[in-house]
């Protein structure tokens, strides 16, 4: 006697199946299908599940999925890392003060960024790494 157990599909798996069946419909209709079938509370939730499904099925259905590319030189983290690499003679406290001045950060944020940079830093010995 074989024991079979039916495993309930997760909402994510159901969303992928729904998108596979309905990807040819206009976006507003796909959104309505997702909201009804998955009991989603808002259009934003539906958009999230549609996007996630589209990404999962992009290769299978030959659908273009455009992911965002963020230029790290423009982010505070990227700028902090650049300052960290270029100022290896500064101590941790001096580095934090530099971040506060140049990147208009709070002390706490600057300390956090300094810690992150010290973990990611690869290169010659740095005074800010304790």
- Residues 107-129 pLDDT 10s: 999 999 999 998 988 888 888 88
Please state the domain count of the chain: 2
Provide the pLDDT for residue 3.
60
Provide the pLDDT for residue 63.
78
Looking at the structure, tell me whether residues 48 and 80 fall in a common domain.
no
Whether 116 maps to a domain, the answer reads yes
pTM of the model: 0.50
Whether 96 maps to a domain, the answer reads yes
All residues at 6 or more sequence positions from 5 whose CB lies less than 8 Å from its CB, including other chains: none
Percent of the chain with pLDDT over 70: 94
Looking at the structure, tell me whether residues 80 and 57 fall in a common domain.
no
Q: Are 113 and 76 in contact (CB under 8 A)?
A: yes
Q: Is the dihedral angle over the CA atoms 66, 67, 72, 74 positive or is it negative? A: positive
| Per-residue model confidence as pLDDT tens digits over 7-29 | 788 999 999 999 999 989 999 99
For 20, the domain range is: 11-61
Distance CA 23, CA 21 (A): 6
Residue 113 has a CB neighbour count (10 Å cut-off) of 22
Distance CA 56, CA 26 (A): 19
């Amino acid at each position: 006697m074989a024991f079979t157990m039916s495993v309930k599909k997760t909402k994510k798996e159901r969303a992928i199946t729904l998108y596979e069946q309905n990807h040819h419909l206009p976006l507003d209709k796909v959104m309505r299908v997702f909201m009804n079938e998955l009991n989603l509370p808002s259009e934003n939730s539906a958009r999230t599940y549609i996007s996630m499904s589209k990404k999962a099925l992009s290769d299978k259905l030959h659908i273009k999925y455009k992911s965002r590319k963020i230029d790290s030189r423009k982010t505070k983290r990227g700028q902090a890392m650049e300052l960290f690499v270029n100022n290896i003679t500064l101590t941790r406290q001096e580095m934090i003060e530099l971040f506060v001045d140049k990147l208009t950060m709070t002390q706490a944020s600057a300390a956090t960024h300094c810690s992150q940079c010290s973990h990611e830093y690869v290169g010659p010995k740095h005074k800010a790494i304790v």
